[in-house]
Chains A and B, each alone.
Chain A
Amino acid sequence: MSNRSVVPFGPQHPVLPEPIHLDLVLEDEVVVDAIPSIGFVHRGLEKLVEVKDFNEMAYVAERICGICSYGHGFGYCDAVEHIMNIEIPPRAQYLRTILFEMSRLHSHMLWFGLLADGFGFESLFMDAWRIREKLLDMLEEATGGRVIFSINKIGGMRRDIPKEMLKSFRQRLEDLTEDLKVTVRTLLEDPAVKSRLSGVGVLTADEVETLGAAGPFLRGSGIRRDSRKLGYLAYDDIDFDIITHNDGDTYARTYVRAMEILQSVDIIKQAIEKTPAGEVDVPVKGFPNGEYMTRIEQPRGEACYYVKANGKKFLERMRVRTPTFANIPALTASLRGSELADIPILILAIDPCISCTER
């Protein structure tokens, strides 16, 4: 008869850049249950709508999370713009698309490095973060910030990205592509990596669907769902496919994210080609009145932004539903039955973002 024991995992743990706590119930080496407890980074920023007006909230929304900051800022602005019936100019739509994909790219590279570090592939970690710095350079040139951009405002963008800069981005991405391909290939084809990831934490399409997972977690089990296909911003005019994998294991999730890195480069290049000339913002008058929910595809999956306004300077409610929160039930399901040593990899493979989860 084997004995049960409980191993606490986190909140402070070497593989976790952010705090989350799991109680792992073990039978010998095998995890029979995982009980998550969250709340270490809960700030309660949704309640800030009472003290910050609807324009300032764009900058608060951006600070939900430092990795997907761009998407949060955009999602909030989009919801308010819909309430106020603001049509943002085509150039701004395209620039937003370009920056969104850039931020997805930097987020995926960050995940890439952390995952490699998670199973001890230190040099790959460093390599991914070296490439990521080049992406951050571009983002900094365009927006002025490395992680917090604050370039979106209600009604468009705070500043334009000049034509020459876009051209240079195109060239620099072209130069980076080879580097990116080599790095991605290393992760996906290295036999040691493969044996570490394949067959670990398998969830079927049915399971992930019922447990409500989002993003690459979902697509890694063969479900074709990507909110970018809803056609917001300029995504309708851009030619891209939803990347999926049918195995449903950690390798499949890794594959989806890694291939999305290369896909994002392609999307940015297409968007730069098609960016029209013109204004990047429209004047905003009055206060919002009404409610709206925006759905967008963040690097980790679908995020929803609900805004309710009542014609005053301060909103009545803002509510955000983030992908990692949706992924936690499926994550704990995938932990059950796996070995203790695989736990860090399983957690890192869904690219958890605790700040988003707890807000």
Chain B
Amino acid sequence: MKLSKSPWLLHYDASSCNGCDIEVLAATTPRFDVERFGIINTGNPKHADILVITGGVNNQAKSVVKQIYSQMPEPKVVVAAGICACDGGIFKDCYNIMGGVDKVIPVDVYVPGCAVRPEALIDGVVKALAILDQKRDAMKSHAACEINYDKNSDTKEKNQA
């Protein structure tokens, strides 16, 4: 498979037990080593293409999740890692848990598991990459984004005339 780009990840722990978080980190270290494909775990939402998010999101984390998501540039993809992020998992009945990331922001890829295995996560990121490509193509085909240089020169001439 050809990667169309090396996506940068942003990881956020939205009320997980952190079992999934250490597996997300483990995916970047020598055994799994996604960094060899240029996939970097960045700390800055403004640099990120893919948001990997764990945990069932509690009331206090809600606004943080929304804010991080809104700071990421388009196109962006969200991967929910672990069963907690998918639907609340074992904490579903807790009074403080929203029950899944998709209650707060749109999710594109769901990766179940408790804890999520790094292999599964990598698979999820590859799927996310395909979605990222689609989103980018959709943005390109959007008329407003298209810069037609010939047309531009036309208008230029007209303006000069």
Contact B64 A11 (CB under 8 A): yes
Which residue of A has the minimal Cβ distance to B95? A44
Residues from chain B with a CB closer than 8 A to the CB of A126 are 29-30
> B134 interface residue, CB < 8 Å from A?
no
* Chain A 4-48 interface 0/1 with B at a Cβ cutoff of 8 Å (1 = within): 000000011111011100000000000000000001111111011
* Residue in B22, B60, B90 whose beta carbon sits within 8 Å of that of A147 in the complex: B22
Residues from chain A with a CB closer than 8 A to the CB of B112 are none
* Chain A 68-103 interface 0/1 with B at a Cβ cutoff of 8 Å (1 = within): 010000000000000000000000000000000000
Contact B21 A66 (CB under 8 A): yes
Residues from chain B with a CB closer than 8 A to the CB of A63 are 17, 19, 90-91, 114
Please give the distance in Å from A86's CB to the nearest CB on chain B.
25
Chain A interface residues toward B at CB < 8 A: 11-15, 17-19, 39-45, 47-48, 51, 59-60, 63-67, 69, 110, 113, 125-126, 129-130, 133, 145-148, 353-355
A18 to B25, CA, bound (A): 12
Please give the distance in Å from A7's CB to the nearest CB on chain B.
16
Contact A354 B18 (CB under 8 A): yes
Per CB-CB distance, the 4 closest pairs between chain A and chain B, nearest first, are A66-B19, A14-B43, A129-B29, A130-B30
Residues from chain A with a CB closer than 8 A to the CB of B21 are 17-18, 66
Please give the distance in Å from A104's CB to the nearest CB on chain B.
15
Interface residues of B in 78-114 (CB under 8 A from A): 90-91, 93-97, 114
Residues from chain A with a CB closer than 8 A to the CB of B11 are 17
A215 to B14, CA, bound (A): 27
Q: Tell me the total A-B contact number using a CB cutoff of 8 A.
A: 125
Contact A40 B58 (CB under 8 A): yes
Please give the distance in Å from A279's CB to the nearest CB on chain B.
29
B interface residue count range (under 10 / 10 to 19 / 20 to 34 / 35 or more): 35 or more
Residues from chain B with a CB closer than 8 A to the CB of A14 are 42-44
A44 to B68, CA, bound (A): 24
Contact B26 A129 (CB under 8 A): yes
Residues from chain A with a CB closer than 8 A to the CB of B115 are 66, 145-148
> B45 interface residue, CB < 8 Å from A?
yes
Contact B97 A43 (CB under 8 A): yes
A118 to B65, CA, bound (A): 24
Contact A19 B19 (CB under 8 A): no
Contact B22 A355 (CB under 8 A): no
Contact B64 A19 (CB under 8 A): yes
25 A–B contacts, CB within 8 A, in A order: A14-B42, A15-B43, A17-B11, A17-B13, A17-B18, A17-B25, A19-B61, A19-B64, A40-B58, A41-B55, A42-B60, A43-B97, A47-B95, A48-B94, A63-B90, A66-B17, A66-B22, A67-B22, A69-B17, A126-B29, A129-B26, A129-B30, A133-B26, A146-B23, A355-B17
Residues from chain B with a CB closer than 8 A to the CB of A69 are 17, 19
16 new A-B pairs (CB below 8 Å) besides A17-B21, A47-B95, A129-B31? A17-B13, A18-B13, A40-B64, A42-B60, A42-B96, A43-B15, A43-B91, A65-B19, A66-B17, A66-B22, A129-B25, A129-B26, A133-B31, A148-B115, A353-B18, A355-B18
Interface residues of B in 48-75 (CB under 8 A from A): 55-56, 58, 60-61, 64, 68
Residues from chain A with a CB closer than 8 A to the CB of B94 are 43-45, 47-48
Residues from chain A with a CB closer than 8 A to the CB of B30 are 126, 129-130, 133
A125 to B30, CA, bound (A): 10
Please give the distance in Å from B51's CB to the nearest CB on chain A.
11
A60 to B22, CA, bound (A): 18
Known contacts A41-B58, A42-B58, A146-B115; A12 and B45 CB within 8 A of each other: yes
Which residue of B has the minimal Cβ distance to A356? B18
A145 to B91, CA, bound (A): 19
Residues from chain A with a CB closer than 8 A to the CB of B29 are 113, 125-126, 129-130, 133
Residues from chain A with a CB closer than 8 A to the CB of B15 are 40-43
Which residue of A has the minimal Cβ distance to B20? A66
Residues from chain B with a CB closer than 8 A to the CB of A19 are 12-13, 61, 64
Which residue of B has the minimal Cβ distance to A38? B60
